[in-house]
Amino acid sequence: MADSLARLSALAEDPVVRILADAFSDAGFDLAVVGGPVRDALLGRATHDLDFTTDARPDDILRIVAPIATAHWDIGREFGTIGARVQGEQVEITTYRADAYDGVTRKPVVEFGDDIDGDLVRRDFSVNAMAFLVPQQRLVDPTGGVEDLIAGILRTPTDPQVSFGDDPLRMLRAARFSAQLGFGIEERTLAAMAELRPTLSIVSPERIQAELIRLLQSDDPVRGIRVLVDTGLIDEFLPEVTALKLEIDEHHHHKDVYEHSLTALEQAIALERVRHPDEPADAVLRLAVLLHDIGKPRTRRLEPGGAVSFHHHDVVGSRLARKRLQALRFDKESTDAVAKLIELHLRFFGYAEGAWTDSAVRRYVRDAGDQLERLHILTRADVTTRNKRKAARLASAYDDIEQRIAALREQEEIDAIRPELDGNDVQRILGIPPGREVGEAYRFLLDLRLDEGVIGPEAAEQRLRAWWAARD
């Protein structure tokens, strides 16, 4: 605990904190660092964005920060929040709040308060309901946040039924903080999450999407996903994940698809960290890995002799993922990437069964496009077999295909492969106007280039004419 207090004292010495603390003190107002920065300082975690709370009203906050900020904005003024840039850092300062909710929307009826304890009690979890008054350097913890930090527990400051009833998004935040901090969730809090899960209907898809992304970008998203599945919360916005828990028939056996998907996610994260150690967590990759087998429940067939098949689950899963991500308002680029990765995730296993020709490797690269590196990671992570010999064989095969891709890139700039004749050439040679037939001819020429390499414009023209004549 002594180390934790020392870290809080160090937080008070941060230049931004010190400048703001002195300015508010000189103006006769209290100021406290609040929420995540206090929690993270006590845990010894890196502190990022600084949030403050104060008894000053928004007009007073603006008056105080204007002389010491290089920029300030009042976009959150109606909620009592003023933003500013101080010493190059962006900060938010919010007047004490004592809000009330109508239970129909997430929008509170904003009421300003005069008491810091009242402000803290209205927050989501006790570990986020602590404040550090500056410059006094006094910790304010009215709901037992320090004890919960020590115990590694997430608990609402008030009755969880009331807290989640006020703002259902807090239930998703519980799963995210569990993943982010490695904390368990207190029993009453967990039970309330399961009971109140239908109230997520009042939360916008954009808000749900944002929490899902933050969870996926955490250190241990699998922990948070288990919380969402166990409470049923995920069924309100991504039911395909729970559906991975396929019923096991006593006469037909296959691996647990749900557990396989979570193991694949853990393996993908490990590979991501090895291959791209200095890059931020890749939420698109992690989402694709989590969802890569969601087509299996729709395609499962119980075959004679105890076998189970999932024919075309890659294509079906890609369509399901696209539809779900669109409903959650994911951007088109992310949606397309996840759908493509799911559709292609089985392609490699044909290579493992027998070495591909160079043309097959070129097609693999072409079809993956800018998702090739993510596909590398997904495909490797998809191998969760306990059979060490099989796992080693698949890993060796994938090492081989990556080496061949690298070699082909050096030889022929594989990423920039184009047909030897373009669309204008096709129209001139075949005497046809722009339209669908030009596209078909172009694809024929691209396949020819991928299959046979460079054959020269004259030979390409001869082959094009022969293809066109045979087509007629």
pLDDT for res 430: 87
Distance of CA 210 to the CA centre of its chain: 8
Of the given ranges (215-224, 402-411, 414-423, 433-442), which has the lowest mean pLDDT? 414-423
pLDDT for res 353: 63
**pLDDT, tens only, 55-67:** 999 999 999 999 9
Q: What is the CATH number of the domain that holds 17?
A: 3.30.460.10
Residue with tokens 């064989």: 393
pLDDT for res 47: 77
**pLDDT, tens only, 4-23:** 778 888 888 889 999 999 99
pLDDT over threshold 70, residue 460? yes
Pick the last residue of a domain from 143, 169, 191: 143
**pLDDT, tens only, 353-387:** 666 777 788 888 888 989 999 999 999 999 988 88
With left for phi above 0 and alpha for psi between -120 and 50, is residue 90 left, alpha or beta?
beta
Q: Are 411 and 436 members of one domain?
A: no
Pick the last residue of a domain from 215, 237, 259: 237
pTM of the model: 0.83
The tally of domains found in the chain comes to 4
pLDDT for res 249: 46
**pLDDT, tens only, 79-113:** 889 999 999 899 999 999 876 565 565 566 667 88
Q: Are 69 and 125 members of one domain?
A: yes
Q: Are 442 and 316 members of one domain?
A: no
The letter for the amino acid at 255 is K
Q: Are 442 and 383 members of one domain?
A: no
Q: What is the CATH number of the domain that holds 250?
A: 1.10.3210
Domain of 382, in residue numbers: 245-416
pLDDT over threshold 80, residue 254? no
pLDDT for res 306: 66
Q: Are 63 and 190 members of one domain?
A: no
**pLDDT, tens only, 307-357:** 777 888 999 999 999 999 999 999 999 999 999 999 999 988 766 566 677
pLDDT for res 105: 59
Check if the beta carbon of residue 241 is closer than 8 Å to that of residue 225.
yes
Q: Are 437 and 461 members of one domain?
A: yes
pLDDT for res 45: 86
Percentage of the chain lying above the pLDDT 90 cut: 58
pLDDT for res 247: 56
pLDDT for res 210: 97
Q: Are 256 and 117 members of one domain?
A: no
**Highest mean pLDDT range out of 97-101, 107-111, 176-180, 442-446?**
176-180
Q: Are 293 and 190 members of one domain?
A: no
Q: 147 or 397: which carries more pLDDT confidence?
A: 147
Q: Are 160 and 271 members of one domain?
A: no
Mean pLDDT of 237-247: 89
Of the given ranges (168-177, 285-294, 435-444), which has the lowest mean pLDDT? 435-444
Please name which of 353, 348, 232, 341 lies closest in space to residue 295, comparing C-alpha atoms: 341
pLDDT for res 389: 87
For residue 207, what pLDDT band results from cuts at 50, 70 and 90? Answer: very high
pLDDT for res 305: 66
Pick the last residue of a domain from 221, 237, 253: 237
Percentage of the chain lying above the pLDDT 70 cut: 91
**pLDDT, tens only, 35-57:** 999 999 999 888 778 899 999 99
pLDDT for res 440: 86
Q: Are 383 and 445 members of one domain?
A: no
**Mean of the per-residue pLDDT values for the chain?**
88
SS (H, E, C) the chain: CHHHHHHHHHHHCCHHHHHHHHHHHHCCCCEEEECHHHHHHHHCCCCCCEEEEECCCHHHHHHHHCCCCCEEEEEEHHHCEEEEEECCEEEEEEECECCEECCCCCCEECCECCCHHHHHHCCCCHHHCCEEEECCCEEECCCCHHHHHHHCEECCCCCHHHHHHHCCHHHHHHHHHHHHHCCEECHHHHHHHHHCHHHHHHCCHHHHHHHHHHHHCCCCHHHHHHHHHHHCHHHHCCHHHHCCCCCCCCCCCCCCHHHHHHHHHHHHHHHHHHHCCCCCCCHHHHHHHHHCCCCHHHHCEECHHHCEECCCHHHHHHHHHHHHHHHCCCCHHHHHHHHHHHHHCCCHHHHHHCCCCHHHHHHHHHHHHHHHHHHHHHHHHCCCCCCHHHHHHHHHHHHHHHHHHHHHHHHHCHHHCCCCCCHHHHHHHHCCCCCHHHHHHHHHHHHHHHHHCCCCHHHHHHHHHHHHHHHC
Q: Are 20 and 121 members of one domain?
A: yes
pLDDT for res 252: 41
pLDDT over threshold 80, residue 76? no
pLDDT over threshold 50, residue 250? no
pLDDT for res 414: 57
Q: What is the CATH number of the domain that holds 180?
A: 1.10.110.30
Q: Are 412 and 427 members of one domain?
A: no
